Amino acid sequence: MNPRKISIRKYKVLFNTFYDSLCLFAGKYVGDIEISKDIVQEVFIRVWDTEVVFRDENAAKSYLYTAVKNKSLDYLKSKEYRSKNPLEAADLKKLESDSFFAREVLLEESSKIIREAVDMLPYKCKEIINLSLKGYKNDEISQALSISVNTVKAQKRIAYSKLRVMLKGVFSVLFSLL
């Protein structure tokens, strides 16, 4: 019996680390979350079946995002998709471009980092910031949480101050990767 190059434990870690971000990333291409999930699952099945070995997390991330991009583009070129949604050649060129790919990866990575930082905030700050990120105004947040507008403003100041410290330097590193 041939030993697997990737253990089940490492595969689960890889899956749990990247699955959600890859689904959102594929969604930027195909515009349908269910199809995005199918695409990402196909990529992970291929990783398991072909026993791909990664040097490090960056190599895994690069491989997975590129594979999802290519699978998404294949879907957009498929007869199934094109029969429902005629795609202009210029639109497909834009989606295939490296700049679109790089921008979407950067957006996805930035969003993930921000979500993780927000999750580390104290409960009340996190709750208020999450509502704010969903587009709620201060008065709507105060009504939803039954607190004063001044409390909302104070909690947002505290949260932004903590986020600034947590995220200091992160975005300059991300932008330098482009």
The helix/strand/coil state of 168 is: coil
Domain ranges of the chain: 1-96, 117-178
pLDDT of residue 38: 94
pTM value is 0.51
Q: Which residues of the chain have pLDDT under 70?
A: 1-5, 79-103, 106, 169-178
pLDDT of residue 112: 79
Domain 1-96 and domain 117-178, same fold? Reply is: no
**What six digits make up the tokens of 159?**
């949260």
Greatest Cα pair distance, the chain, in angstroms, is: 66
Mean of per-residue pLDDT scores for the chain: 80
Q: How many CB atoms lie within 10 A of CB 73?
A: 16
Q: Are 74 and 32 in contact (CB under 8 A)?
A: no
The CATH fold of domain 117-178: Arc Repressor Mutant, subunit A (1.10.10)
The CATH fold of domain 1-96: Rna Polymerase Sigma Factor; Chain: A (1.10.1740)
pLDDT in tens, 36-80: 999 999 999 999 888 778 888 878 888 999 899 989 888 877 755
